[in-house]
Structure 1
């Protein structure tokens, strides 16, 4: 690792550890956010043409943007003025840098890819911050870290050039069967992988790393229980997206928002639900503006105090995406949203033998329930009845078809509840 990179990682790491020690209550955290938001908005109005009209304005007057706005104003929301077309073309040719900047894109789970532009400094700031949260002794102890991810972007490759961190990448596109032996031989002390991969390895008796981090997908309770029962190790989470690092679980297993680097606002997008969607402002991003960006994710906040005593907001669970909420007809002729957690819970509580499923809305009133071949017909009928009863209480109906057979696809994010039909 180059000397300047070591310095950047070390500085970010020490800053993150210092913030964790000093921001010990909501009052100090609020004051810190006010200072950071003032600094960030002043910089953005000077350096990003999209925000020039907001020079001197209060943060609350800055517009809330989403992926559509970001893509339509891409060149005005990055300091280099890089166009979306130039970034797409460079990525299509296998390039990860453009005009001296690092570029990348999301997996496109929702059918619409996101694109990012960051600097080398921001990349190492990300690395130092995540090390401080996930491996707090990384600067003093050696670690063997395995990453099982769909692709090794330049962002993750930053972690593999440190002398104290031996990192091995395992490509999900090849399937875990092809590299299980290599993973065992590497003997990692830390493994970061989607929950479906952690579960598969646990069921095969190949999960030996004492530190397990679920990432890239929703960690369902059914997967978490199977992994932890099989290994005896706690499963923690890293909540990241194209837009940044948003949360990491503490050693007690509580998922804490990364409020030392991101300011969160919340909005309720589904009535009669405890789930909220975050609007994020990233303090570490200068090259590309990430100010009041509306995420598509849904999660439930936990307002209790974690035993770790962190002042950072706890998250009870991440529950999926807004556009995966079912949209079903009601008695009045309108349509109501049904959140993924309500649908998931109905299936899980219907029968204890159901430990995997897919519930997909395929049409205005059509729903498909996919179950494994091992699930008995009686359990399938109970699952259908439980969903129908829940919907009936809400004045909703759906035609539910049961199909047996679930094929594991390690190249795509697992969404057990999803809406393929678009009104």
Structure 2
């Protein structure tokens, strides 16, 4: 429990100690210095980079990480061995756990954590979501499409009960079991939280966290109206814990454990993060380019945290529409649809060809509202001198284990 307690109290201490952006910068500089001197030289991938500046290190993506997997983790586990361990066809390495991403973009990734890092992860997570633990207890229902050793760590912590519900079992089966468990805290994708709200189930909830998907205001409004509880977002990926929303609902990046660089997205005010975790020693996560699109807040949060606030996670880079040689970001397309008519509460917009778009609305959407949505997208594209064929249809939009992406570029070009 020492790694857990150490990480828990360090996170709370830093939340009090770091009061300004300058404080955060100094803390990160210390972490990066330790990373460059002690951590990175232990990995074969970085062995030749002697006396290199941090900002001169190569930027890495998922494909490069997986191609050099054995050189980027301390036990030297190859990608082939990692997949065998993850699937249960090979024994776990003693002292380590293997996990994997869900493969939203069709490219799954592995990660390796030590037992100590699992405990430290739990400490950081609890300090950011349940800072009054252990005075406050929690009975957590975790509804996700993929279980992890990280979550199993939480399940055995005193005064903290966690039960995993597999989204692949279907919502009907999950919702049938929830009343007997009576959770006071739920962590689930927004689509699941919304379905729970619309189902009208009575649960003794005190906390609601969304995760694994983008928290769309369409869903957030419905969930909060039903439960009268603020939905707080957890921004976590295979690459680690990236952000947690404060009590005001503002998503703050976890700059106490991660350094963030930001690459601008042309033609918009969105950025794509390049992350470096300066606390992990089992697997290198250094200057790793994420596939996410985010809009950074330019104003401080009322909570007073100096950690960078994020206005929204707007989607993924591979969902940027490519039409007539132009790039259109998911948030612009989304806003055109939901602003067309207030009766539109859900939708799917898919680019299916070089100039082909499918707009799918719920079957109960009024016909005039559906036509307004199609016209709004058409007007948006026309204003950009883009010619596209928009096919409109209405059908039942189901909730599956697959991550929800309301705006998705299916055509890869």
| TM value normalised by structure 1 | 0.95
2:367 to 371, 374, 377: 377
Q: Distance in 2 between matches of 1:201 and 1:27?
A: 42
Q: Distance in 2 between matches of 1:141 and 1:216?
A: 25
| Structure 1: segments with no counterpart, 5+ residues | 1-5, 330-334
Residue 353 (structure 1) aligned with residue 349 (structure 2) = no
Query: What is the aligned partner in structure 2 of residue 23 from structure 1?
Result: 18
Do 2:212 and 2:236's aligned partners in 1 also have CA atoms closer than 8 Å?
yes
Residue 212 (structure 1) aligned with residue 202 (structure 2) = no
Q: Secondary structure at the match of 1:362?
A: strand
Query: What is the aligned partner in structure 2 of residue 227 from structure 1?
Result: 223
2:44 to 37, 43, 49: 49
Instruction: Summarize the Cα distance change of 1:95–1:221 in structure 2 as closer, same or farther, 3 Å threshold.
Output: farther
Q: Distance in 1 between matches of 2:89 and 2:27?
A: 40
Query: What is the aligned partner in structure 1 of residue 263 from structure 2?
Result: 267
Q: Distance in 2 between matches of 1:295 and 1:151?
A: 20
Query: What is the aligned partner in structure 2 of residue 183 from structure 1?
Result: 178
1:114 to 106, 109, 112: 109
Do 1:266 and 1:276's aligned partners in 2 also have CA atoms closer than 8 Å?
yes
Do 1:96 and 1:102's aligned partners in 2 also have CA atoms closer than 8 Å?
no
Q: Secondary structure at the match of 1:70?
A: helix
Instruction: Summarize the Cα distance change of 1:337–1:406 in structure 2 as closer, same or farther, 3 Å threshold.
Output: farther
Q: CA RMSD in A?
A: 1.3
Do 1:210 and 1:233's aligned partners in 2 also have CA atoms closer than 8 Å?
yes
| Structure 2: segments with no counterpart, 5+ residues | none
1:39 to 23, 34, 43: 34
| TM value normalised by structure 2 | 0.97
- The Cα of 1:43 is off from its aligned counterpart by 2.2
Q: Distance in 1 between matches of 2:202 and 2:259?
A: 35
Query: What is the aligned partner in structure 1 of residue 384 from structure 2?
Result: 394
Q: Secondary structure at the match of 1:350?
A: coil
Structure 1 stretches of at least 4 aligned residues deviating more than 6 Å after TM superposition:
none
- The Cα of 1:179 is off from its aligned counterpart by 2.6
- The Cα of 1:107 is off from its aligned counterpart by 0.3
2:292 to 293, 297, 321: 297
Do 2:101 and 2:109's aligned partners in 1 also have CA atoms closer than 8 Å?
yes
Residue 251 (structure 1) aligned with residue 247 (structure 2) = yes
Residue 146 (structure 1) aligned with residue 141 (structure 2) = yes
Do 1:357 and 1:406's aligned partners in 2 also have CA atoms closer than 8 Å?
no
Q: Distance in 1 between matches of 2:165 and 2:90?
A: 21
Residue 197 (structure 1) aligned with residue 192 (structure 2) = yes
Q: Distance in 1 between matches of 2:95 and 2:244?
A: 30
Q: Distance in 1 between matches of 2:40 and 2:277?
A: 15
1:88 to 80, 83, 86: 83
1:72 to 67, 73, 83: 67
Task: State how many pairs are aligned.
Answer: 412
1:165 to 142, 145, 160: 160
Query: What is the aligned partner in structure 2 of residue 123 from structure 1?
Result: 118
